[in-house]
């Protein structure tokens, strides 16, 4: 597993971890934009990609992870070297466990805004209709990314926290049809590491 780390100078570094010797980490769940706007593994290695729209999601995840006391985080777009079919295959087969083992999961909803039509960004419940229609709920990966992690927090495009899996469980049930009991915990025969934070 390859993790990102936010360095003191604001840059990101990549570190590989093998087996179970993985430090506590946050993980980002999001919808992909245009492929040429997502920051790739190669972009990070080459030190480019800051002008891409997807860079803001990586920056957000790193900042939120640091706020939550986590040094490391994972973002699929740039932590997987998709030019390696073996690595891509391993990542796809390991994804549920990676989400399950994450200390925190942040869902970044690029199509949900907390701003009102007049541009006022004062937080209100006006985001709920957009939340219910978010493209995030139509993805093939949504089911595992909603069930696997214990800690899931939802954020609007302005990086404003909307709530977590517990506070939004009734709404999540209404949107997805997933039973609330299943939303509460994924138990599939392996236990989550006990992160000490």
Q: What is the pLDDT along the chain (197 residues), one digit of tens a residue?
A: 999 998 888 888 999 998 778 999 999 999 998 889 999 999 999 989 999 999 999 999 999 999 999 999 999 999 999 999 999 999 899 999 999 999 999 999 999 999 865 555 555 568 999 999 999 999 988 999 999 998 999 999 999 999 999 999 999 999 999 988 888 765 554 454 544 44
Give the domain extent around 44.
2-184
pLDDT of residue 124: 58
Q: Per the domain annotation, does 12 fall within a domain?
A: yes
Assigned domain for 192 exists? no
CA distance 135 to 109: 8
CA–CA dist 50, 44 (Å, integer): 9
* DSSP summary character for residue 54: T
What pLDDT is stored for residue 120 in this prediction? 55
> Number of structural domains, the chain?
1
Q: Does residue 197 belong to any structural domain of this protein?
A: no
How confident is the model at residue 19, as a pLDDT?
A: 74
Instruction: Supply 190's token pair.
Output: 């392996």
C-alpha to C-alpha distance for 20 and 98, rounded to whole angstroms: 11
- Is 105 within 8 Å of 152 (Cβ atoms)? yes
Model pLDDT, residue 123: 55
189 domain residue, yes or no? no
Identify the helix (H) or strand (E) that includes residue 69: none
Give the C-alpha separation, 29 to 33, whole Å.
13
Does residue 63 sit within a domain?
yes
Q: Where are the beta strands (DSSP E) in 20-165?
A: 25-30, 72-74, 104-108, 152-155, 161-164
Measured CA to CA, the distance from residue 76 to residue 28 in angstroms comes to: 8
**Residue 42 domain-assigned?**
yes
How far apart are the C-alpha atoms of 166 and 133, rounded to whole Å? 19
The whole-number pLDDT of residue 165 equals 94
> Cα–Cα distance between 155 and 95 in angstroms, integer?
21
161 beta partners? 155
């Amino acid at each position: 597993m390859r993790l990102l780390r936010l360095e003191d100078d604001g840059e990101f570094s990549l570190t590989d971890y093998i087996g179970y010797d993985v430090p506590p980490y946050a993980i980002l769940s999001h919808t992909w934009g245009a492929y040429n706007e997502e920051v790739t593994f190669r972009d990070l290695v080459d030190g480019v990609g800051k002008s891409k729209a997807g860079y803001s999601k990586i920056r957000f995840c790193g900042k939120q992870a640091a706020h939550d006391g986590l040094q490391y985080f994972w973002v699929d777009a740039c932590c997987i070297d998709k030019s390696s079919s073996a690595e891509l295959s391993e990542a796809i087969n390991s994804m549920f466990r990676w989400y399950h083992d994450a200390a925190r999961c942040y869902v970044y909803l690029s199509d949900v805004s907390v701003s009102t039509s007049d541009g006022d960004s004062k937080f209100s419940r006006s985001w709920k209709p957009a939340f219910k229609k978010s493209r995030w709920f139509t993805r093939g990966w949504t089911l595992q990314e909603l069930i696997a992690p214990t800690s899931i927090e939802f954020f609007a495009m302005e990086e404003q926290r909307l709530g977590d899996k517990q506070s939004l469980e009734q709404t999540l049930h209404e949107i997805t049809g997933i039973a609330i009991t299943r939303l509460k915990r994924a138990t599939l025969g392996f236990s989550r590491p006990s992160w000490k934070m």
